[in-house]
Structure 1
């Protein structure tokens, strides 16, 4: 993968940065170093990692950073609840997304897409630093590496295989570090088919056996991205395909319990979406980010990511998409123990779902039917501790699921088993658990195995109940995954 470069070009007249007086006022009597320490503490509270120091605070207050990256945004909104970025003195993100005119000989990767006031500003830190120092500076910001990668060329992303096991000559070249030819229409079809193949295999078999193999074509896709496509239409489709591939691989990481990897892949897709102005891809990336945040124990981030997805998704015209995004928000509210917020989002999701399908529904939403609606609602009630209600929805989900989605049948049934166990119905829980065990020769999912392990712990005191000892013995005999 090529690294970004700072190229020389004719300087353009730069407006002097406008100081951020609002942010300065929010700092109050604290020194920049003290305030930076407070930012780092706030980041840890919500599971973020930012390398804020006094210099960064100074750049914000001087107006050099017109809009923070998304990690800092989450931290600042956590520190100052109820406020938007513009309430903190920042410019609207849309105004600093890097859509300025391109200078002759310049590639879109030559400058950060946002954060700096003007890449040609003589006061900008980019002009005062060498290439290696710039690289180090980028590394201090979460998502900077994936943003840089998405911006480093004007070309598209590609993958050299239509299946997991047949990667083709382009992949071989990328893996070996040799120069890669410019991608064309065949590569567009290949990357789109690779995404479909991964989703199909996941639907049937779960993520654990797929993740490591799927990561390899993704790396090749971004190596080929650096090569760039000649035609803009090809480049756009390849960007979109690479973003969807990153989300698919991110989901495999997510479902197999590799949350840090999943977060990185989703951020990769988000960066690609913003580079090309692809609202559909951005909504998808935020949707999965919300789901991941919920599972990783960051419910407030889940709510915010789901709400961000809804803001960008409204223009797409898909009621089913908005329904799913409302469910993602409901999951976040449940994690915050906000029953009212959760119920309101669930009602919204149901209302939007009942509007039916449309041609605007994204291809990736093929999994979202009544069964998924019921399953996600079951998870919300389970999080809120309403085991009876959760079990009712989980049972419906398992009954309604298309047999093709073997993994989801196992997931919903595992949810049912856990809800029944926690709701004081151990014999029914054991029977449901047995049905899940019957599917594990076809499905490999750490998520499902983790749920079953939790159910087994709940059932231990009830081993004398009908069927429970048989379930516990069979569960204990399962091979332990690494």
Structure 2
């Protein structure tokens, strides 16, 4: 179990790095390497069934983090490969929490790929795990992610319903219960607002998206650096679509240069923001300000 404890600390380090940087190939590769290391320990000497199950759980945790980094970095083919490994390892571990994480990540992956039917099927598997029945916090996360999936499918009523249920489930969660570090590191009311922001952007309800964007930013914990950049980019887009051009540009310019240039999702969002700004207000002062800012940021990143 000392090996397991060491791996668990390394997993916590991976989670911390992901929340700061996100989507980086280095995080993906390190998580995959640690998954392989956990599996290699299976073949070195005798071990109890408890230890073996824990090692499979550690391997599944690392592989699902590699999967998440690939999703966040828009490397979907790699994410699918990590997903298959993680799902098999989670089954061998017998750990319902890591099985939930793996299938819930799969749902998010398919949502980002624009495949809401597959996303809903994967997230339904996650929501059928025993840990969801035991712990309202897991139930809440499953519901909130399903809300974003409903939005991609264009189902406003279903999205609104499950977001309400997600908030109610989170309110029932016992704050004193011991939970996996990957869950407690990010899931709270701010994350529900983040997913609602994404959902209302998908549905084209820009004013509601903006409301959830502000609420998310006000509740994000300091270590959520990657999430703050993503939320700010989404908020800027919601403001731009309401023709709040100057406000939108000021919002987008708050994103740190390293996130704007170094995080694949943020870079893609800001590229889309710039294209949309050029379409809506090509000759405006704010558009000129944004072009100068984007040019400087690009030079800095090089």
TM-score (norm 2): 0.90
- Partner residue of 2:253? 434
* CA shift for structure 1 position 225: 3.9
Q: Displacement, 1:200? A: 0.5
Say which SS state the counterpart of residue 440 (structure 1) adopts: helix
Query: What are structure 2's unaligned runs of at least 5 residues?
Result: none
* 1:384-430 alpha-carbon deviations (Å, 9 max, x no partner): 11011101101211122112211111111111011112222111111
Match of 1:456 among 257, 269, 274: 274
Instruction: Tell me how far apart the structure 1 counterparts of residues 91 and 192 of structure 2 sit (CA, whole Å).
Output: 29
Within the alignment, does 1:244 sit opposite 2:61 as a pair? yes
Residues 363 and 413 of structure 1, relative CA distance in 2, 3 Å threshold: same
2:197 matches 1:362: no
Once residues 460 and 437 of structure 1 are traced to their aligned partners in structure 2, the CA distance between those partners, rounded to angstroms, is: 22
After superposition, where does 1:220-299 map in structure 2 within 5 Å? 220-227=37-44, 229-299=46-116
Contact in 1 for aligned 2:64/2:102 (Cα 8 Å): yes
Give the Å deviation of 1:476. Answer: 3.7
CA RMSD of aligned residues (A): 2.3
Secondary structure of 1:337's counterpart equals: coil
Aligned counterpart for 1:407 among listed residues 203, 215, 226: 226
Per the TM alignment, residue 232 of structure 1 is displaced from its structure 2 partner at its CA by 1.4
- Aligned equivalents of 1:380 and 1:362: distance in 2? 26
Pairing partner for 2:158 from 341, 349, 353: 341
Answering whether residue 211 of structure 2 is matched by residue 392 of structure 1, we say yes
Q: Larger Rg: 1 or 2?
A: 1
Of structures 1 and 2, the one scoring higher in RCO (CA 8 A, sep 6+) is: 2
Q: Which structure's residues are more often helix, by fraction?
A: 2
* Matches of 1:314 and 1:276, distance apart in 2: 14
1:204 and 2:23 matched: no
Conserved? CA contact 1:279–1:313, under 8 Å: yes
How far apart, in 2, do the equivalents of 1:380 and 1:458 lie? 19
Change (3 A) 1:293 1:313: farther
Partner of 1:322: 139
Secondary structure, counterpart of 1:435 in structure 2: coil
CA offsets per residue over residues 361-393 of structure 1, 9 Å max, x none? 433112011211111111011111101110110
2:192 corresponds to which residue?
373
Contact 1:210–1:252 under 8 Å retained in 2: yes
Instruction: Give TM-score, length-normalised by structure 1.
Output: 0.58
Matched residues, number: 297
Aligned to 2:4: 188
Residue 354 of structure 1 aligns to a residue whose secondary structure is: helix
